[in-house]
């Protein structure tokens, strides 16, 4: 596409997003310094419509972008909209006050929903991409032990295990050996590393060791299902006119955990943005929405995804800038954990 027609498309997208009204050639002449006559703009709009980038919603109306038009607009963005210093300071202060991983995730959801005024989705750091930071064994009673698994991404999982009575020295030895064996290793590698762990101990202690190892493996296996937190659903009420029939299918899709995980998409690099527009989401009920996502992580390694969902009539530069900035901040928090 030649540069002038791209500028006309960009102006149509910007005006439609801000005014919620179809855009005509007269409005483009008045609002934008395109450097050409109204007749030339009309010709450009006719060409854009013929190529499927814009369409006329009803007779005698201006034009609105199609999914194809939004896609070209996003693909040709030279940069995303940077956050103001006040917004950056607010993000830093709000996320910096988190006390644990749960707090980080819930603060992130609230923050994204508030900044973008859309629906925010945040995935918990995946255990499958996490490593062991520490395993704690705490004697609750002589025959009951609490096993606590702490990952390098801040996730904390615990189990209570009934065992034969264990002395404090035996428990301390077991704790030290277990940590020496698996700390720093990926959770996916733990089963292989603890396969013969009980053989290090005297025969009478092996049932207790087996029970604790089984509990550890249970934590790893049971938590394979990823967790997603959703926030800001009420923001959709601001965009009722953007949903041609009803907002119902959108709300129904957002209730499904697996849909949310698929919307977040495949793992990308930290702060690598992905934008899916309309039917690119893969769900008919979400064909009038767009999803902007980014990976976040620590030490350059992605551990999960976050993003926002809103109507296709979205402030893409602003939304992409906010999602990218929040992903970077969350990654820094994990690095400092």
Across-strand partners of 298? Answer: 301
| CATH code, residues 3-75 | 1.10.10.10
Flag whether pLDDT at 237 surpasses 70: yes
**What average pLDDT is seen over the chain?**
88
Distance (Å, rounded) from C-alpha 202 to C-alpha 34?
A: 83
Average pLDDT, integer, range 318-334: 91
- Domain ranges (residues) in the chain: 3-75, 85-125+226-336, 128-222
pTM summary value: 0.78
- Which pLDDT does position 225 carry in this prediction? 54
Q: How far apart are CA 13 and CA 63, in angstroms?
A: 10
- In this prediction, residues 32-52 reach a mean pLDDT of 91
Phi-psi region of 299 (alpha: psi -120 to 50; beta: other; left: phi over 0): left
DSSP readout, 91-105?
A: HHHHHHT--SHHHHH
Are both 3-75 and 128-222 of the same fold?
Answer: no
- pLDDT at residue 13, as a whole number: 96
CA distance 45 to 28: 10
CATH fold label, 85-125+226-336: Beta-Lactamase (3.30.450)
Please state which CATH class domain 128-222 belongs to. alpha beta
Spatial contact of 196 and 175, defined as CB atoms under 8 Å apart: no
Q: How far apart are CA 143 and CA 292, in angstroms?
A: 50
CA distances from 284 to 47, 202, 262, 288, 311 (A): 29, 60, 14, 9, 14
Q: Is 13 exposed, middle or buried (0-12, 13-18, 19+ CB in 10 A)?
A: buried
pLDDT category of residue 45 using cuts at 50, 70 and 90: very high
What is the tens place of the pLDDT at every residue in 171-201? 999 999 999 999 999 888 899 999 899 898 8
């Amino acid at each position: 596409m030649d540069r002038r027609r791209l500028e006309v498309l960009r102006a149509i997208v910007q005006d439609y997003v801000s005014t919620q009204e179809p855009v005509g050639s007269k409005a483009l002449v008045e609002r934008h310094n395109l450097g050409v006559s109204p007749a030339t703009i009309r010709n450009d709009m006719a060409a854009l419509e013929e190529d499927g980038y814009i369409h006329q919603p009803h007779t005698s109306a201006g034009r609105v972008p199609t999914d194809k038009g939004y896609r070209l607009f996003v693909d040709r963005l030279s940069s995303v909209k940077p956050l103001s210093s006040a917004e950056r300071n607010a993000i830093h202060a709000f996320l910096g006050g988190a006390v644990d991983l749960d707090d980080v995730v819930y603060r992130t959801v609230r923050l994204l929903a508030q900044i973008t005024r859309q629906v925010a989705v945040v995935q918990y750091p995946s255990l499958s991409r996490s490593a062991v930071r520490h395993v704690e064994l705490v004697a609750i009673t002589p025959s009951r032990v609490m096993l606590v698994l702490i990952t390098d991404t801040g996730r904390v999982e615990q189990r209570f295990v009934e065992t034969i009575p264990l002395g404090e020295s035996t428990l301390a030895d077991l704790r030290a050996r277990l940590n020496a064996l698996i700390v720093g290793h990926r959770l996916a590698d733990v089963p292989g590393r603890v396969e013969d762990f009980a053989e290090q101990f005297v025969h009478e202690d092996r049932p207790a060791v087996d029970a604790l190892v089984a509990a550890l493996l249970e934590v790893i296996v049971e938590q394979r299902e990823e967790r997603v937190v959703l926030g800001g659903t009420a923001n959709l009420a601001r965009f009722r006119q953007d949903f041609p029939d009803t907002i119902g299918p959108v709300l129904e899709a957002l209730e499904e955990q697996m849909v949310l995980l698929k919307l977040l998409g495949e793992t990308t690099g930290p702060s690598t943005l992905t934008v899916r527009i309309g039917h690119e989401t893969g769900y008919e009920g979400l064909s009038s929405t767009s999803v902007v996502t980014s990976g976040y992580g620590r030490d350059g390694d992605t551990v999960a995804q976050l993003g926002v969902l809103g109507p296709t009539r979205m402030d893409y530069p602003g939304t992409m800038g906010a999602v990218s900035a929040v992903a970077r901040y969350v990654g820094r928090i994990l690095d400092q954990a």
